[in-house]
Structure 1
Amino acid sequence: MTAALGVALAGVPVLVAPPQDPPGTADVVVVLGPPQAWRVDWARELVADGRAGAILLFADDPAAVPLCSQTAPVAVVCHRPDPYTTRGEARTLRAEMSARGWRTATVITAAPNVLRARWVVGRCVEDGVQVVGRREDIGLDRWVMRYAWQAGGFVKAALQRGC
């Protein structure tokens, strides 16, 4: 019991309150999948505040995301990365940054994914990327599931090499 509590508490700074700065300015704001409404809204807020000039959004089915088919005052680029994983998103981000001349990006994700996303994206894009997240109001059962998912994701990332 004590060991389980120790493991759970060790995850708090990694999953619940990861270290991060507030979003800065960037060429593009990136919405890691899934494109939940709060993530898309946050991306729109950053653009409206002048903190980014474009949105890059990742979704399993971009056609099902309203922002991907709407005319927007800024460029909106939607992709289903292959594979549809954080690593696939990072590779697609690198390709889009190169193709579009973007030098900086603010990546939006959920708080439990901030440190792992920063690690995985950093393997593909060495400079100019900031990863930020927000905590979602979810129950303890979902936090347990997120903890397990992210722990598995860290192990998978540790076993992978390069971008």
Structure 2
Amino acid sequence: MIALVVLVTLIGLPVYVFPVVADSPRKVDVIMVLGGRQDGRENYAISLAEKGLAPVVLVSDPYLRPDPYMEAICDVPHQVKVVCFNPDPRTTRGEARFLRDQAAQNHWTSAMVVTFTPHLTRADYIVSRCFTGDLVMAEYKTDLTLPYWAYMYAYQTVGFVRAVAQSGC
């Protein structure tokens, strides 16, 4: 049993802990922030845009109202255009579809997606099925406890299985 846990941990390291899909942030047409832990990734993405990396930031807001955290982001002015949206469905797939549709409407050919480390590889898999342009996956690093890492291994693995089983965008 211990050997199985060690094997799963080692296999998961390049997928969840040190994702090989992580890119350095660079100039793109739009930055999209995936919903999640409300851990600061939204402000990180807005700060990247304000440094000149994109004129628009799409912020996923899959939370139920009222949500003071999201209101503090979505209801205040920023130096760049910030568009908060409710994905349908309220999953990474819904967020990827929103990016696809907005990219078509706005003629965007490049996008940066910001999410936290354990979600990065799965998000890349899902978003790249919907968005065919130049995709930059930006890692938002946050401190996670060991039990939360264990939970993320399981959660992200189940999510990968579901994503692989689904066809198309």
Runs of 4+ in 1 over 4 A off after TM superposition: none
Q: Distance in 1 between matches of 2:19 and 2:39?
A: 22
Within-5 A mapping of 1:42-121: 42-61=44-63, 64=67, 65=70, 66-121=72-127
CA-to-aligned-CA distance 1:52-95 (integer Å, 9 cap, x gap): 11110001248731221112222111111110011110001101
Greater Cα offset, 59-68 or 5-14: 59-68
The range that moved more, 37-46 or 90-99, is 37-46
Answering whether residue 161 of structure 2 is matched by residue 160 of structure 1, we say no
Which amino acid in structure 1 is aligned with residue 44 of structure 2? W
Kept in 2: contact 1:35–1:59 (CA 8 A): no
TM-score (norm 2): 0.90
For residues 91 and 63 of structure 1, do their structure 2 counterparts lie closer, same or farther at Cα, with a shift above 3 Å needed? farther
Instruction: Single out whichever of 138-147 and 69-78 deviates more from structure 2.
Output: 69-78
- Report the count of equivalent residues: 163
Name whichever of 59-68 and 11-20 sits farther off: 59-68
Structure 2 portions without partners, runs of 5+: none
Contact 2:28 2:111 in 1 (8 A): yes
Q: Which runs of 5+ in 1 are unaligned?
A: none
The answer on whether the counterparts of 1:25 and 1:52 sit within 8 Å (CA) in structure 2 is yes
Secondary structure, counterpart of 2:132 in structure 1: coil
CA distance in 1, matches of 2:61, 2:159: 19
C-alpha RMSD over aligned residues: 1.5
Q: Is the 8 A contact 1:112 1:135 kept in 2?
A: no
The whole-number CA distance in structure 1 between the counterparts of 2:102 and 2:161 is 27
Alignment partner of 1:138 is 2:144: yes
Alpha-carbon contact 2:31-2:57 (below 8 Å) kept? yes
TM-score normalised by structure 1 residue count: 0.93
Which residue in 2 is equivalent to 1:23? 25
Secondary structure of the 1:157 match is helix
Q: Percent identity?
A: 37
